[in-house]
Structure 1
């Protein structure tokens, strides 16, 4: 097997700013790489996550014009951790506003975890605007996936972390953690809200790595990060991400003509491979790469190798 690919060298944005998308929301965005090169939009995970310097490094900066942004309520976008006018369909509309801002007729869409969900929702809404799709850690927002993460499934793999996750909740709320957490995360008690946010985000951190990574746990439980992730994720999951159960698979016919590559960790306990397999069955033309020693995060060696090979291929580079 050839040597695994890793990050391109660090780069800085050549442009950045905030875009007023209405409803009182202003989105932080940045463009990196080469202006006028192959356009791509990067969709981060969560919902409630953000962007960092390493996200830029999954693309050859000489060949890509990379637009990264932080979704409503996330990171440097304002208002911080806001749930108002914050739905999947608001985000789909925001992506179109960003495309128009950049002056692109079409672009490649790259998203992992929740970003894969949003990528599919955007592509199925605006298939004429998408040239290719690169997806990681597939999440289809199905009831079985919610149940895996918040009822029975991941709890069997991480029983000690599951108990930590349930600890902030009243006994009578533990059969429906998403609803019980919502009451706390939207409440007025700031201390209880922060405790709940850290517990919610810690549970996610436990499920996203193949082996324990203290740095990931520290990042996920940092108060500002935890508050945005917990509030926005809970808000989306409580509302089924504003998607009908099975909707993304039902509407896959709208995008089957678009070239696509999926990179999926075999041991992903956050978004298990069953969703990627279901997507592949509905979309036979997509290339599915299951990484046998991979979990959920984009920067794990095998997952990162698959993602960079995908972006290189769609930029016309020969395989190494």
Structure 2
């Protein structure tokens, strides 16, 4: 990896409707900019959730009448319940599921961040809020509008074992984005912590930096 450095600029981007997104800029202010984006399956709305059935323990964490519907919305309601015990159980159930689906290799240890009850609740509320509303994006809008990126080079890096975000969207984006380069990484899953994924990210950044 590159040496750790502090951002020289950062802030909150107003994206409308009272929402803000954190951003930061690192590296050489006079250098060539590279945007690193970690996305979720935001183009798939609640109507597609039944295509990825979660395990029964996860489904059983919400009221029976909501188990075949928008599970993210059902969990979001539990995470805002007036009863602290209900909120805590929902946060633990959600984070247990999140942590389990990214541990695709034997011996991979659970994420210690989920041991913090404050983090668990905050994380689960944030994720379910966006998932329940499909990030307020129209169905398939990312792929449909990808052609507008023509002329902007991009590298898509996706673990083939990514359960929470299967690689079909990355593949479709690569077809719709002129000039995009897709890498499906064998034996790696969600996140950017795998050795091969890290190598590909660094290689892409180095390549862009050397381009005239």
TM-score of the alignment, normalized to the shorter chain, above 0.5? yes
Alignment match, 2:105: 211
Q: Is the contact made by 1:210 and 1:295 (CA closer than 8 Å) also made in structure 2?
A: yes
Query: How far apart in 2 are the matches of 1:19 and 1:279?
Result: 27
Does the residue aligned with 2:173 lie in a helix, a strand or coil?
helix
Q: Which of 81, 84, 87 is the matching residue for 1:193?
A: 87
Q: Is the contact made by 2:103 and 2:110 (CA closer than 8 Å) also made in structure 1?
A: no
CA drift at 1:194: 2.2
Name which of structure 1's ranges 224-233 and 18-27 shifts more when overlaid on structure 2: 18-27
Number of residues paired by the alignment? 208
Q: Is the contact made by 2:42 and 2:137 (CA closer than 8 Å) also made in structure 1?
A: no
**Pair 27,152 (structure 1): closer, same or farther in 2 beyond 3 Å:** closer
Residues 77-108 of structure 1: CA deviation (Å, up to 9, x unaligned) = xxxxxxxxxxxxxxxxxxxxxxxxxxxxxxx3
Q: Which of 111, 132, 152 is the matching residue for 2:37?
A: 111
Structure 1 gap ranges (5+): 1-6, 40-107, 115-138, 156-161
Alignment match, 2:164: 270
Does the residue aligned with 2:37 lie in a helix, a strand or coil?
strand
TM-score, normalised by the number of residues in structure 1: 0.57
**Pair 27,235 (structure 1): closer, same or farther in 2 beyond 3 Å:** closer
Alignment match, 2:2: 8
Task: State whether structure 2 residue 75 is matched by structure 1 residue 181.
Answer: yes
Task: State whether structure 2 residue 32 is matched by structure 1 residue 38.
Answer: yes
Alignment match, 1:232: 126
Query: How far apart in 2 are the matches of 1:23 and 1:143?
Result: 20
Does the residue aligned with 2:125 lie in a helix, a strand or coil?
helix
CA drift at 1:27: 6.9
Alignment match, 1:84: none
Q: Is the contact made by 1:13 and 1:30 (CA closer than 8 Å) also made in structure 2?
A: no
CA drift at 1:244: 0.8
CA drift at 1:308: 1.0
TM-score, normalised by the number of residues in structure 2: 0.83
Query: How far apart in 1 are the matches of 2:156 and 2:208?
Result: 13
**Pair 257,23 (structure 1): closer, same or farther in 2 beyond 3 Å:** closer
**Pair 19,143 (structure 1): closer, same or farther in 2 beyond 3 Å:** closer
CA drift at 1:28: 6.2
Does the residue aligned with 1:219 lie in a helix, a strand or coil?
helix
Task: State whether structure 2 residue 208 is matched by structure 1 residue 314.
Answer: yes
**Pair 205,145 (structure 1): closer, same or farther in 2 beyond 3 Å:** farther
**Pair 230,284 (structure 1): closer, same or farther in 2 beyond 3 Å:** same
Query: How far apart in 2 are the matches of 1:285 and 1:258?
Result: 8
Query: How far apart in 2 are the matches of 1:168 and 1:144?
Result: 18
Q: Which of 56, 65, 76 is the matching residue for 1:172?
A: 65
